[in-house]
Structure 1
Amino acid sequence: MNQPKSEGRHQKAEVRRSEIGDRLLSFAVDVVRFCRRLERTPTSRYVANQLMRAATSTGANYREACSAESRADFVHKLQLVLKETREAEYWLQLLSRSDFVPDGALAPLLGEVDQLIRIMVKSVVTAKSKA
């Protein structure tokens, strides 16, 4: 049985939202696990806390965006997700450049945060174009 085109698009959008939400949650979990393994110094604790705050808020803000009350609210909340994702990238880069971890240890997280930023940029642009 064929579905109307709009219904099919709606289902695809829901699946896509679920996949992005899952990736953001997995990213946050990976960051939390990584931060647990960092050496416990005042400096590393500070950076780890900032990184965890930014990384864990991405998924929470994305869930809020998925329940937005209007298109403008949706765009605003997606922009918050993008902002927090970029902040997480900053803290990861700081850890990498400050020799807190061996070279390459952050490559998977840096790769994932880069992809998430690209996804969120595209999502914001698309959402704005439909507003």
Structure 2
Amino acid sequence: MNASNTSKRELLEDRLIDFAISTNEIIESFPNTYLGKNISNQISRSSISPALNYGEAQAAESTKDFIHKMGICLKELRETFAGLKIFDRSQKLSNDKNEINRLKTEVNELISIFVASIKTAKKRL
């Protein structure tokens, strides 16, 4: 493994961690309603999961295992994106449109990175 790959991996892991923290900070301000609690709990889990599963992917036992773990990250990122769209569209939930839009942009970029990485890994099979 060369320094360039290590650096890219560390940068991606840092982005995933920062995304999880930012997402969870914004949902802290959501109302204590059924919808607010339900979507906040779901988004909290799905936004943290990619950072944790990315660590698992780095220790994959095979290329197939790597693809599987990266696929889990991708699914969780897509779930988070859908949740952020719900936040954005709900008048009662969405109190910081600029931050939610920033998070939606970031999660879209992360999704693109994971799609590309999975495609590259599949070519190795």
Kindly, what percent of the aligned residue pairs are identical? 33
TM-score by length of 2: 0.93
Cross-structure match for 1:20: 12
* Aligned Cα root-mean-square deviation (Å): 1.2
Q: CA deviation at 1:14?
A: 1.5
One-letter code of the match for 1:101? S
One-letter code of the match for 1:44? G
Asked if residue 117 in structure 1 is aligned to residue 106 in structure 2, the reply is no
Cross-structure match for 2:101: 107
| Long gaps (5+) in structure 1 | 1-6
Asked if residue 83 in structure 1 is aligned to residue 71 in structure 2, the reply is no
- Runs (4+) of structure 1 exceeding 6 A deviation are none
Deviations 1:8-52 (A, max 9, x none): xx3211111111111000000001111111111121010010111
Q: CA deviation at 1:104?
A: 3.6
One-letter code of the match for 1:57? S
**Higher gyration radius (CA):** 1
| Long gaps (5+) in structure 2 | none
Alignment partner of 2:123 out of 123, 126, 129: 129
Aligned length: 123
One-letter code of the match for 2:19? F
One-letter code of the match for 1:40? N
Q: CA deviation at 1:105?
A: 4.1
Deviations 1:38-71 (A, max 9, x none): 1111210100101111000010000000111111
Q: Distance in 1 between matches of 2:112 and 2:62?
A: 24
TM-score by length of 1: 0.88
